[in-house]
């Protein structure tokens, strides 16, 4: 059976400007692979309402799941929840369940639930909340769209709670061989091997570092025995290669 | 005048599977910001012909420039050049100018220009070549689409040659303040400041690290004096903040 598919949408001016380096994408990619959900596409857009709406529509239509990161805090540039609601045709307003979570959190901290913080209780109708064990303000799942925070510690905590609730498939297994030869030297053999073994996918990822160039050849499949078999053939073809 | 806009398309199974972490996006984002080109969107898609074609069409239509990374090597999974040619309605075949570059390179290395390597001379009609000082196999620009290698050292070298040929605008200048207070405490002041100063953009990027939480507030504009002015106001509002 085919594994469920997924896309990610990162909302982040600060990544597009080069000020910060995205960390959530890499974390999500690894977690989904382990869970047997196939991440097929990632988009990064700026904090612009129309762009978020358009991307949410396209990606929630195109894949089984859409995970978003960023833009759900209390400041003026946090516009993800509204954009997701509009994209999905849902009403949005302050919800009592989210407000109660925030109220309890700020009471514990001796801080006031002011108007800005209350914005984080704006949750689309019909959405279920995603727990935020770090700072209380919840994410939410609206149909197949899972809206999470951009701060990596919070994103990871939210995902850890969410992922076990989603049906995954068999994890995709992979093994790789590091071959210190130019891709041009190994391409013909790799192409023939890939054609002979449609039950696996074979990728060649060249590197060039400290004067050494070569390629990491990665064999992937949900069928571990198939991966073993093809890696065995590869090792015979390139006996000098290292794991 | 508005700066030119750009998108990036990363072709990379290995990033979507979580095996590797993308480096080219961050490099491109910084380089474009310095050059006065605004990176507005990034997409990452798998090595699937139809997905690359669709993304190239959408992004080359939507922005002044599209930069791609990955999938132009000699192996069976390198399918970017064909997909870009199809997306842009151009013929593709082995071009004499690209073949001559490769022939000279492999002659120098005492290696043979075999069939696999010759695939790297497949360049769409009408495209201009992008110099590859690292390993000779060129990238290319086809109208507003700039196709470059995925290996970071090569991507960076290609971009260094390409970027001076593209018209940029005034670089976007930015300054930031680190404020160790919850976003909920500063959101009202920030929102008012942003509304009062439409000549700059103000972003709030929360962090949570080692028990400290707060926000980096970034003020951006092509007008350096405006950035100075708003950062000055911010510093008065939050005298405890650090640069």
**pLDDT tens digits along B21-73:** 999 999 999 999 999 999 999 999 999 999 999 999 999 999 999 999 999 99
A208:B111 CB<8 A: no
**pLDDT tens digits along A100-118:** 999 999 999 999 999 999 9
Residues A114 and A180 in one domain: no
The arithmetic mean of pLDDT across residues A221-229, rounded, is: 94
B1: confidence class by pLDDT, cuts 50, 70, 90? low
Whichever domain contains A82, its CATH number is 3.40.980.10
Give the total number of structural domains in chain A.
2
B46:A30 CB<8 A: no
Distance CA B151, CA A48 (A): 31
Q: What is the pLDDT of residue A10?
A: 98
Residues A121 and A230 in one domain: no
Chain A nearest CA to B127, separation (Å): 23
The arithmetic mean of pLDDT across residues B83-88, rounded, is: 98
The arithmetic mean of pLDDT across residues A60-83, rounded, is: 96
Q: What is the pLDDT of residue A1?
A: 60
Domain final residue pick, A134, A165, A196: A165
The arithmetic mean of pLDDT across residues B104-133, rounded, is: 95
Residues A127 and A44 in one domain: yes
Q: What is the pLDDT of residue A223?
A: 92
* Residues counted in chain A: 243
Task: State the best of A45, A108, A187 to mutate against chain B, taking most chain B CBs within 10 Å.
Answer: A187
Phi, psi (degrees; rounded to nearest 5) at A78: -95, 95
Residues A148 and A177 in one domain: no
List, as ranges, residues 170-189 from B with C-beta within 8 Å of A: 172, 174, 176, 182-188
* Cβ neighbours for A123, distance < 8 A, ≥ 6 positions apart: A81, A92, A94, A95, A97, A98, A129, A138, A140
Residues B194 and B127 in one domain: no
Residues A158 and A187 in one domain: no
Among B139, B152, B135, smallest CA distance to A205 is for B152
Residues B104 and B195 in one domain: no
Q: Tell whether B156 is within 8 A of chain A (Cβ).
A: no
Residues in chain B with CB shorter than 8 Å from the CB of A153 are 208-209
> What ipTM was predicted for this assembly?
0.91
Task: Name the percent of chain B lying above pLDDT 70.
Answer: 99
Distance CA B68, CA B36 (A): 19
Domain final residue pick, B165, B181, B197: B165
Distance CA A119, CA A99 (A): 9
Q: Which domain holds residue A229?
A: 173-237
Residues B178 and B160 in one domain: no
Q: What is the pLDDT of residue B12?
A: 87
To the nearest 10°, the Cα dihedral for B105, B124, B40, A71? Answer: -90
Would residue B243 count as lying in a domain? Answer: no
Residues B21 and B124 in one domain: yes
Q: What is the pLDDT of residue A125?
A: 97
Would residue A243 count as lying in a domain? Answer: no
The arithmetic mean of pLDDT across residues A161-185, rounded, is: 91
B191:A41 CB<8 A: no
Residues B124 and B215 in one domain: no
Whichever domain contains B218, its CATH number is 3.30.70.2860
Please, are residues A140 and A185 in contact by the beta-carbon 8 Å criterion?
A: no
């Amino acid at each position: 059976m085919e594994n469920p598919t997924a896309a990610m949408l990162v909302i982040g001016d600060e990544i597009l400007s080069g000020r910060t380096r995205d960390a959530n994408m890499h974390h999500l990619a690894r977690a989904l692979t382990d869970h047997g959900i196939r991440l097929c596409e990632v988009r990064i857009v700026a904090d612009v309402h129309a762009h978020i709406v358009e991307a949410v529509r396209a990606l929630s239509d195109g894949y089984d799941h859409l995970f978003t990161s960023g833009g759900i805090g209390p400041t003026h540039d946090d516009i993800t929840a509204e954009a997701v609601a509009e994209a999905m045709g849902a009403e949005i307003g302050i919800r009592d369940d989210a407000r109660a979570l925030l109220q309890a959190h700020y009471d514990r901290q001796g801080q006031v639930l002011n108007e800005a913080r209350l914005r984080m209780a704006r949750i689309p109708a019909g959405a279920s909340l995603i727990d935020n064990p770090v700072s209380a303000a919840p994410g939410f799942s609206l149909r197949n769209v899972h809206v999470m925070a951009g701060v990596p510690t919070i994103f990871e905590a939210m995902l850890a709670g969410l992922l076990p609730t989603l049906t995954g498939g068999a994890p995709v297994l992979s093994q790789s061989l590091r071959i210190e030869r130019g891709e041009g030297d190994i391409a013909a053999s790799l192409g023939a091997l890939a054609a002979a073994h449609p039950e696996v996918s074979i990728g060649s990822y060249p590197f060039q570092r400290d004067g050494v160039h070569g390629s990491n050849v990665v064999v992937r499949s949900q069928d571990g025995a198939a991966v073993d078999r093809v890696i065995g053939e590869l090792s015979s073809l390139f006996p000098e290669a290292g794991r």
